[in-house]
Amino acid sequence: MNHGDHLEWGLHWAWPVWLLVGALALTVLGLAAWNIRKLVGKRKRALLMALRILTVLSVLAVLAQPTWVSRSVRPGGQRVAVIVDRSASMAHGPEGKTRWERALAAAARIERKQPVAWYTMAQRLEPARSFAEVKARKPDGQASDLLAALGDLGDARRTSGLSAVVLVSDGLDNGPLHARTASDAQTLDAESAETLDRLRLAVHTLAIDDAKPARDVAVTALRASAFGFTRTYMPVTVDLELSGYTDADGELTLTLKDNGRVTSEKKLPLRGPPQRAIELEFQPLHVGPHLLEASVAPLPDEATVVNNQTWAALQVVRDRTRVLHLAGHPSWDTRFLRAHLRGNPAVDLVSFYIMIGQGAAGYVSGEDTTLIPFPTREIFEDSLSSFDLVIFQDFPFGPFQVERYLPELHKYVTGGGAFLVLGGRQSLSGGGYYGTALAEWLPIKLEPLQGADVGWAEGTVTPMLTPAGALHPVSLLAGDADGNNKAWNRHAFSGRNTSLRAGGEGNVLATDTAGHPLLAVADIGDGRSAVLATDSLWQWAFPSQAATDARDVSRDDYHRLLDQLTAWLLHDPDLNALRLEPPSEPVAAGEPVRVRVTARSASGQPVSGLTLRWCLAPLEPPPDKTAPAKPEPAKPLPESKAWQEPTDDRGEVVLALDEVPAGPHQLQVEAVVDGRNQQASAPFAVAPATREASRLQPSDHLLKLIAKSSGGQTWRDDVPGAGIPLPRQTDSDLADLDHTDLWTRPEVMLWLTLLLGLEWALRRRWGLA
């Protein structure tokens, strides 16, 4: 036993509790004396009483929680705890050595003067046995929590024998201390100060600064609503934090992308406030999951580019379908189509009908009529992008100067718009479409008029489904193939457009008996187009030769075909056999990416037991061209893998993708549904760990507050030549105290058991209960 070793009692309970315990002990002893009063033999009674007293005293001793403190005197003087910040921000350094290297150099100088207990820190305190072990560590911690590290040190077992603490850091905290401390705070908040008080040590801080300010632009947040409506502009706010560019000339480029497609770019001057909130607008075009990316182009002298972009996911729904309906003349086809569209309360219909012929303008007085000028410019320059669907119904666009706006229309379609051409004598080749830019993004090929061909053929036309049409969601008028063929066989058209043929990447879904295209569809860039080469679809809604029951069926076919055509043109996800639900926000790096896939048949029933194939692709915009980007039937995905788990009874399966690298991705899934290879894709993002990169400029503000609160000092880049100032030494400063809890040791339990067992045995032997 050394000098100074001693016993400490816990005695944590309040005195009334102890009073109660004492009374209880006396009661137990009194009852014991009463119990043994009739026992013959003084010695026996004295022995039993002694055992009971010993037991009670032992229990009382345990309740007092005795701790043995042994003091070991350590030669060499006072130790200093040195904590070196190894968070990722310490790996930076604009010129020369990194902050980490400079911190190690300064820490090494401390050890030359004083004995050191070594630690590093990032999210928590990390003990080290030696400086060599500290040196071997990497500055790659993904967080800096100064308070947590000091709190860990505050454990009584670690501070014993320490004289001071030295915290070596760039001061960039991203834990609670940073959150709780205002930029102009003069003192620490009470909670943080209490953590330091528990140390009962001075915490000196060594601020590692850069010789030259670190330059960095960080996209710290992309704020947008989690839901949007198609073709409705929504505000997006991008938060930027600029370091080291306060007085710099030049500008940076902020880019906003939607599913990989650039939607807006903004130039911003570098000179200005370090924190900025940039307002942008974004117009989602399609229903379904969208991934927004805000990024700034890397600047030549930026410290890091890992924080130059961020993502936000949102779900886009359609509130109303806005339809622009342009008709070359009023007809029964326009009448029934109008009634169909107006019958849908979710449709906003904007119509323009050409109501007088070219020859009539001279003698129909505009004053007496309700005619208005055809607002070509307003429609095609200002409002086109606001429409979900544009319909040209027997519309000869040539006389109305629409041709000059074809580039806008092309941009609209390839950018995600929907374009439907309904035929007639004034449409397609007969309407002068051949040779125009518009003809290039139709799903059929137009031919020049020759001889007596006016682009139109009279007569009854019997439609026939093509193999593609038999499976296409647009032309499915019944749930099964036989029913579908029967449905098409009960209809006919009056007249069709001529001088057109199947061609390109479009899908011809129905032809006449001679194979002339009647109904065709195509993907055009991000958008879609369709052609129905007749003006008599209305006869399905008003059949002339049919029984009453058949009329109802026929009318249903009319509405179903138009609904499906519209839905397909609008990329309605309900038409997709496979539907994906990607994560609703960017996934943290290292976490699995979970995507729910639902499979439905053409009749809407869940498809169970389906094996999916999947692959990841870069999230890139489709090529900006008029040729279809997604020819049908879909080609199999390259390098796809089978998912081990099939769809369940609800047609669902969750793909949990591990080890997906940081960045934006496109998940592509395919499966054979209804005998056809179906594909679907959805965007998602895996966010890189950028917590440490959100701010890069060293700051000694928190370090000064820590030192001030604990009675320490703050130095910059190096420690004083005289070493770390220490308080005046006492005996306890030079010794390590080792605490041993006696009351928790197993010997105590054994001792109590022995006493109680012996007393029980004697009592049985001497005839007591």
Partner 1 sequence: MPRIPYFPVLAMAWLLMAGPAHAVDLPGSSVRLAWLKVPGATDPTSALTAWAQEIRLRTSIDIASQPVGVRPEDPAIFSYPLLYWGSDKAPPHLSDQAVAALRQHLSTGGMLIVDNTGRTEASQAFDQGLRHELARLFPQPLQRVAPTHVLYRSFYRLERPVGRRADAHELEGIRVGNHFAVLYGRNDLSGALARQAVGGYALAVVPGGETQREQAFRLAVNLVMYALCLDYKDDHTHVMHLLRTRRGAKAPIATSPSPPPILPNQPEP
Contacts of partner 1 in 478-497 (CB under 8 A): 493-495
Q: How far is CA 319 from the centre of its chain?
A: 24
Closest separation between CB of residue 437 and partner 1, Å? Answer: 21
Tell me which residue of 327, 221, 230, 175 sits closest to 571, measured CA to CA: 230
Q: What whole-number distance in Å separates Cα of residue 427 and Cα of residue 446?
A: 11
Element (H, E) at 390: strand 389-393
Of the residues 95, 184, 249, 368, which one makes contact with partner 1 according to CB under 8 A: 368
Cross-strand partners of 666:
617, 683
Q: Which is nearer to partner 1, 466 or 554 (CB)?
A: 554
**Under the criterion CB under 8 A, does residue 331 sit at the interface with partner 1?**
yes
Say if residues 593 and 616 touch (Cβ distance below 8 Å). Answer: no
Q: Which is nearer to partner 1, 80 or 409 (CB)?
A: 409
Closest separation between CB of residue 575 and partner 1, Å? Answer: 23
Tell me which residue of 377, 262, 392 sits closest to 326, measured CA to CA: 392
Closest separation between CB of residue 546 and partner 1, Å? Answer: 8
Binding string, residues 289-328; x marks residues near partner 1 by CB under 8 A: ---------------------------------x-----x
Closest separation between CB of residue 455 and partner 1, Å? Answer: 12
Closest separation between CB of residue 438 and partner 1, Å? Answer: 19
Of the residues 276, 338, 676, 701, which one makes contact with partner 1 according to CB under 8 A: 338
Q: Which is nearer to partner 1, 219 or 418 (CB)?
A: 418
Closest separation between CB of residue 564 and partner 1, Å? Answer: 21
Kindly identify the residues of this chain, within the stretch 230-259, that bind partner 1 according to CB under 8 A. 231-233
Q: What whole-number distance in Å separates Cα of residue 422 and Cα of residue 392?
A: 6
Dihedral angle sign, alpha carbons of residues 89, 90, 92, 93: positive
Of the residues 329, 410, 528, 579, which one makes contact with partner 1 according to CB under 8 A: 329
Output the CA–CA distances (angstroms, integers) from residue 529 to 175, 323, 416, 519, in the order listed. Answer: 54, 14, 10, 11
Tell me which residue of 624, 533, 700 sits closest to 261, measured CA to CA: 624
Burial (CB count within 10 angstroms: exposed 0-12, middle 13-18, buried 19+), residue 635? exposed
CA torsion 495-499-505-507 (nearest 10°) is: 10
φ, ψ for residue 584 (rounded to 5)?
-80, -5
Q: Which is nearer to partner 1, 31 or 361 (CB)?
A: 361
Of the residues 348, 563, 591, 652, which one makes contact with partner 1 according to CB under 8 A: 348
Which stretch in 37-45, 354-362, 439-447, 747-755 sits in contact with partner 1 by CB under 8 A?
Answer: 354-362
**Under the criterion CB under 8 A, does residue 370 sit at the interface with partner 1?**
yes
Of the residues 67, 315, 383, 608, which one makes contact with partner 1 according to CB under 8 A: 383
Closest separation between CB of residue 508 and partner 1, Å? Answer: 22
Q: Which is nearer to partner 1, 311 or 336 (CB)?
A: 336
φ, ψ for residue 177 (rounded to 5)?
-60, -45
**Under the criterion CB under 8 A, does residue 400 sit at the interface with partner 1?**
yes
Closest separation between CB of residue 524 and partner 1, Å? Answer: 19
Say if residues 211 and 94 touch (Cβ distance below 8 Å). Answer: yes
Q: Which is nearer to partner 1, 370 or 450 (CB)?
A: 370
Q: How many residues does the chain have?
A: 769
| Binding footprint of partner 1, residue count (CB under 8 A) | 75
Say if residues 216 and 304 touch (Cβ distance below 8 Å). Answer: yes
Closest separation between CB of residue 393 and partner 1, Å? Answer: 10
CB 648: neighbour CB atoms within 10 A? 13
3-state secondary structure at position 227: strand
Burial (CB count within 10 angstroms: exposed 0-12, middle 13-18, buried 19+), residue 651? buried
3-state secondary structure at position 505: coil
| Token code pair at residue 728 | 């005046």
Say if residues 717 and 619 touch (Cβ distance below 8 Å). Answer: no
What residues contact 710, with CB distance under 8 A and at least 6 apart?
165, 196, 197, 199, 201, 202, 203
Q: What whole-number distance in Å separates Cα of residue 352 and Cα of residue 373?
A: 10
| Token code pair at residue 161 | 């024998």
**Under the criterion CB under 8 A, does residue 542 sit at the interface with partner 1?**
yes
Of the residues 7, 24, 105, 361, which one makes contact with partner 1 according to CB under 8 A: 361
Ranges of beta strands (E only) in 198-320 are 202-207, 216-223, 227-229, 234-243, 251-258, 261-269, 275-282, 288-296, 309-317
Kindly identify the residues of this chain, within the stretch 508-537, that bind partner 1 according to CB under 8 A. 535-536
Cross-strand partners of 349:
323
In a 13 Å sphere around the CA of 759, the CA atoms on its Cβ side amount to 21
Cross-strand partners of 761:
none
Q: What whole-number distance in Å separates Cα of residue 63 and Cα of residue 73?
A: 31
Of the residues 30, 330, 435, 725, which one makes contact with partner 1 according to CB under 8 A: 330
**Under the criterion CB under 8 A, does residue 386 sit at the interface with partner 1?**
yes
Closest separation between CB of residue 497 and partner 1, Å? Answer: 12
Q: Which is nearer to partner 1, 153 or 510 (CB)?
A: 510
Closest separation between CB of residue 306 and partner 1, Å? Answer: 35
Of the residues 156, 364, 617, 750, which one makes contact with partner 1 according to CB under 8 A: 364
Of the residues 357, 451, 604, 721, which one makes contact with partner 1 according to CB under 8 A: 357
Q: Which is nearer to partner 1, 399 or 688 (CB)?
A: 399
Q: Which is nearer to partner 1, 329 or 579 (CB)?
A: 329
**Under the criterion CB under 8 A, does residue 363 sit at the interface with partner 1?**
yes
**Under the criterion CB under 8 A, does residue 365 sit at the interface with partner 1?**
yes
Closest separation between CB of residue 325 and partner 1, Å? Answer: 10
**Under the criterion CB under 8 A, does residue 541 sit at the interface with partner 1?**
yes
Binding string, residues 166-185; x marks residues near partner 1 by CB under 8 A: --------------------
Binding string, residues 550-569; x marks residues near partner 1 by CB under 8 A: -x---x--------------
Of the residues 265, 382, 645, 648, which one makes contact with partner 1 according to CB under 8 A: 382
Of the residues 13, 68, 131, 332, which one makes contact with partner 1 according to CB under 8 A: 332
Q: Which is nearer to partner 1, 495 or 586 (CB)?
A: 495
Kindly identify the residues of this chain, within the stretch 407-466, that bind partner 1 according to CB under 8 A. 424-425, 458
Output the CA–CA distances (angstroms, integers) from residue 98 to 65, 105, 306, 759, in the order listed. Answer: 51, 11, 18, 72
Binding string, residues 25-64; x marks residues near partner 1 by CB under 8 A: ----------------------------------------
Say if residues 19 and 26 touch (Cβ distance below 8 Å). Answer: no
Closest separation between CB of residue 562 and partner 1, Å? Answer: 14
**Under the criterion CB under 8 A, does residue 360 sit at the interface with partner 1?**
yes
**Under the criterion CB under 8 A, does residue 401 sit at the interface with partner 1?**
yes
Of the residues 13, 68, 131, 352, which one makes contact with partner 1 according to CB under 8 A: 352
Binding string, residues 259-288; x marks residues near partner 1 by CB under 8 A: ------------------------x-----
